[in-house]
Amino acid sequence: MRSKPYYAKALLRVGQACLALGWLAAAQEAVEEGLAADPLLLGLRALHQQVLREVELALMHAAHPSLPLVKQLSGRRAEVDAYTRDTVNYLTTLADVALPAAYLDGWLNDGPRLACLEAALKQGLECRVLVMGSGMGVVPLLALRAGALHVTVVE
């Protein structure tokens, strides 16, 4: 595309259109030709910077052509596949171990509620406690510490 100085604004519009369509190479070519024709045209430098950013982002997310195409495994296929089964089991175990720790601070820092529960249990004579949905087991342990005769836990 050969341009004359008075085509710089047209090349600006072509660059904007190509960028909007995602044609980054054509947008870059049009904007660079426009800059060569009229480097002082308002908006052309800003569009050039925007095109360069988009090209850089596209290059960052593009896969290398020599990489083999692989099919994405579903969760069930990953559990059954011999190559990924151990990894899935390991990550599941890590998640199962980490999840209670995330809630532990909330329960252990819940002093007022646990103090009220402990005071109520200490006032009862020969308490028998039924805990529905015990979670981590903090409440049953608290009940035993407060002097409950028997604690039944139901999940």
List pLDDT tens digits, range 122-154.
888 788 889 888 777 888 888 888 888 899 998
Q: Model-level pTM? A: 0.37
Query: Which runs of consecutive H residues, i.e. helices, occur in 62-84?
Result: 75-80
- Domain count of the fold of the chain: 2
CA distance 87 to 105: 29
Domain end position, chosen among 61, 85, 101: 61
Residue 119 lies in a domain: yes
Residue 77 lies in a domain: no
Identify the domain containing residue 126 by its residue range: 110-155
Residue 105 lies in a domain: no
In sequence order, what are the beta bridge partners of 128? 150
In sequence order, what are the beta bridge partners of 130? 152
List pLDDT tens digits, range 66-78.
666 566 667 777 7
Cα–Cα nearest to 41, from 16, 86, 72, 7: 7
List pLDDT tens digits, range 87-130.
888 888 888 877 766 676 666 677 788 888 888 888 887 888 89
Residue 19 lies in a domain: yes
Q: If residue 86 lies in a helix (H) or strand (E), which one and from where to where?
A: helix 85-108
Residue 11 lies in a domain: yes
Residue 84 lies in a domain: no
Do residues 130 and 154 touch, judged by C-beta distance below 8 A? Answer: yes
Residue 116 lies in a domain: yes
Residue 144 lies in a domain: yes
